[in-house]
């Protein structure tokens, strides 16, 4: 059986066909979600098909991660927010190999995997993240607090939510020191408040938000004008307490202990941990920083190897500030797509024998985000992800909730059909 996506026209080739096949460059993409799918199909289109592109991924599904906030409350299932990537790649003449990468040798230009070795001329690392549960004792699948950063995590958080409804108590939602995915923490916080109201538990349950952020609405991007005031109004309206600029020490069953010794008892807790690079990437010390993310230039080439690229969460981003409690930077879907397009165009240029011309520093990518709040929300727009900025705005209202619902459907359709050139 040929790999999915490989079109076999016949078993015999002429000498010219053999020479053409041997001269075609091979691009290997690790990961098939936001960054990997976008990069793979864009490279194929940029070179009008005159390139061999293979995607190697441990998962054969695309997952729309922004909707994981709804899974614990039964508003979404796996089937609602995933699709099989094999047919999508096949439609665009991209080979798909379902297997996990186990080693990267950037000198030999080879990736070892559970599906066998994969050689390449150009490599795109779009492997995403893994949870750093070791940041505080008590986190993790067998720990004392839930998280929602993967499908399996979100499903377990849903099982915990159903148990909670049978025996309610106080609720703690938070993000640890070093975390960067604050948007998901806020979204889950406000969706939790909405669900507590629906369950008739709002008045008897104390809801507390605990964050490493120095102020409300920092989001890991330095905040936006009036953001602290707006988030403060949201919390006051919902009766939510906030504990900010604090590190967590550990989580026991039913109790979160902060670094300063304060404790918060809970019947349910959801805590966002920091992320690190996948093990296969972390193991390649020639490529990564201390957190296992690939050190890149603004072309998304690795700092050391011109033929290795990294996009999305897998790419390292320098934090441009220091806060009393360490705060990470969110690497969301929109900048991931932008990075993937930059990388794809630069690889296409190199294959054509040109110098990469596309440059886009992470901090210069526009911030475009919708924060859902159950039946309400906030649209977040800024000319740059990171300061200094010329403008930024937060637009609250129920239209944000409707926008997120619509965007989910559009984006899943767009990616399933490989329409990666659409906005």
Q: Which of 32-46, 276-290, 295-309 has the lowest mean pLDDT?
A: 276-290
Q: Do 133-274 and 15-129+277-363 have the same topology in CATH?
A: yes
**148/155 Cα distance (integer angstroms):** 8
Identify the pLDDT of residue 1.
39
User: If pLDDT is split at 50, 70 and 90, which confidence band does 18 have?
Assistant: very low
Tokens of 126: 């779009």
The region of weakest confidence among 23-27, 44-48, 64-68, 355-359 is: 23-27
CB 228 within 8 A of CB 120: no
Give the pLDDT of residue 5: 42
Percent of the chain predicted with pLDDT > 70? 95
- Whole-angstrom distance, CA of residue 140 vs CA of residue 134: 8
**pLDDT for the residue 368:** 94
Give the residue carrying structure tokens 């159903």. Answer: 162
CATH class of 15-129+277-363: alpha beta
Supply the pLDDT for residue 14: 53
- Average pLDDT estimate for 257-275: 98
Q: Give 203-235 pLDDT, tens digit per residue.
A: 999 999 999 999 999 999 999 999 999 999 999
Look at residue 8 in the predicted model and tell me its pLDDT. Answer: 31
Annotate 216-282 with DSSP letters as a single string: TT-TTTT--TTHHHHHHHHHHHHT-EEE-S--EEEEETTEEEETTS-EEE-SEEEEEPPEE--HHHH
pLDDT band at 284 (very low <50, low <70, confident <90, very high): confident
> Which of 395, 397, 334, 394 has its CA nearest to residue 368?
334
User: Does the predicted TM-score (pTM) go above 0.85?
Assistant: yes
Look at residue 304 and tell me whether its pLDDT is greater than 50.
Answer: yes
pLDDT confidence bin for 19, thresholds 50/70/90: very low
Mean pLDDT of the residues in the chain: 94
Whether 10 has a pLDDT exceeding 80, the answer reads: no
pLDDT over 50 (residue 173): yes
Domain parsing of the chain, residue ranges: 15-129+277-363, 133-274
**Both tokens assigned to 48:** 């009008």
Q: Which of 332, 338, 192, 216 is nearest to 275 (CA)?
A: 332
Across 7-32, average pLDDT: 63
> Half-sphere exposure (CA, 13 Å, Cβ side) for 40?
33
DSSP 48: T
**Integer-rounded Cα radius of gyration of the chain:** 22
Residue 11 has pLDDT above 70, yes or no: no
Between 6 and 114, whose confidence is greater?
A: 114
Q: Tell me the CATH architecture of domain 133-274.
A: 3-Layer(bba) Sandwich (3.50)
b/e map 290-309, b = 16+ CB within 10 Å? eebbbbbeebbbbeebebbb
Half-sphere exposure for 314 (CA within 13 Å, toward CB): 31
- Using CA atoms, how far residue 110 sits from 54, 119, 325, 405, in Å, is 13, 4, 40, 41
Pairing of strands 122-125, 26-30: parallel
How far is the C-alpha of 136 from the C-alpha of 423, rounded, in Å? 39
Q: Could you give the residue numbers annotated as active site? A: 181, 369
Task: Read off the pLDDT of each residue in 114-127 and give the average, rounded to a whole number.
Answer: 98
Lowest-pLDDT range of 8-17, 341-350, 372-381: 8-17
Q: Which residues contact 145 (CB under 8 A, 6 or more apart)?
A: 138, 139, 172, 251, 256, 269, 270, 271
Give, rounded to a whole angstrom, the gap between the first and last alpha carbons of the chain: 36
**pLDDT higher than threshold 50 for residue 91:** yes
Q: What is the pLDDT of residue 44?
A: 97
């Amino acid at each position: 059986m040929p790999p999915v996506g490989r079109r076999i026209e016949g078993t015999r080739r002429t000498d010219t066909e053999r020479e053409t096949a041997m001269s075609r460059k091979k691009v290997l993409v690790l990961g098939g979600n936001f960054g990997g799918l976008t990069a793979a199909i864009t490279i194929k289109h940029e070179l009008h098909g005159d390139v061999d592109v293979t995607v190697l991924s441990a998962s054969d599904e695309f997952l729309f991660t922004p909707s994981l906030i709804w899974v614990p409350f039964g508003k979404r299932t796996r089937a609602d927010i995933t699709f099989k990537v094999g047919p999508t790649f096949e439609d665009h003449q991209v080979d798909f190999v379902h297997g996990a990468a186990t080693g990267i040798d950037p000198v030999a230009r080879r990736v070892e995997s559970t599906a066998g070795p994969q050689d390449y001329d150009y490599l795109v690392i779009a492997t995403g993240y893994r949870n750093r549960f070791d940041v505080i004792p008590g986190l993790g699948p067998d720990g004392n607090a839930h998280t929602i950063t993967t499908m399996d995590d979100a499903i377990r958080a849903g099982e915990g939510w159903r148990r909670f409804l049978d025996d309610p108590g106080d609720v703690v939602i938070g993000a640890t020191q070093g975390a960067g995915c604050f948007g998901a923490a806020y979204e889950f916080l406000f969706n939790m408040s909405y669900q507590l109201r629906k369950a008739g538990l709002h008045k008897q349950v104390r809801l507390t938000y605990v964050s490493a952020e120095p102020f409300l609405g920092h989001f890991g991007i330095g905040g936006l004008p009036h953001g602290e005031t707006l988030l403060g109004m949201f919390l006051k309206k919902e009766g939510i307490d906030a504990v900010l600029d604090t590190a967590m020490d550990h989580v026991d069953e039913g109790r979160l202990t902060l670094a300063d010794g304060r404790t918060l008892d809970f019947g349910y807790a959801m805590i966002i941990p920091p992320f690190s690079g996948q093990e296969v990437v972390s193991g390649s010390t020639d490529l990564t920083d201390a957190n296992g993310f690939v050190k890149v230039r603004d072309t998304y080439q690795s700092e050391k190897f011109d033929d290795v690229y990294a996009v999305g969460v897998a790419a390292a981003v320098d934090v441009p500030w220091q806060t009393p409690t360490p705060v990470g930077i969110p690497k969301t879907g929109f900048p991931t797509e932008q990075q993937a397009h930059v990388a794809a165009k630069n690889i296409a240029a190199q294959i054509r024998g040109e110098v990469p011309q596309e440059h886009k520093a992470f901090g210069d990518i526009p911030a475009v985000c919708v924060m859902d709040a159950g039946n309400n929300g906030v649209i977040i727009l800024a000319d740059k992800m990171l300061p200094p900025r010329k403008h930024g705005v937060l637009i609250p209202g129920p239209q944000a909730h409707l926008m997120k619902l619509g965007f989910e459907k559009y984006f899943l359709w767009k990616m399933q059909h490989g329409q990666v050139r659409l906005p």
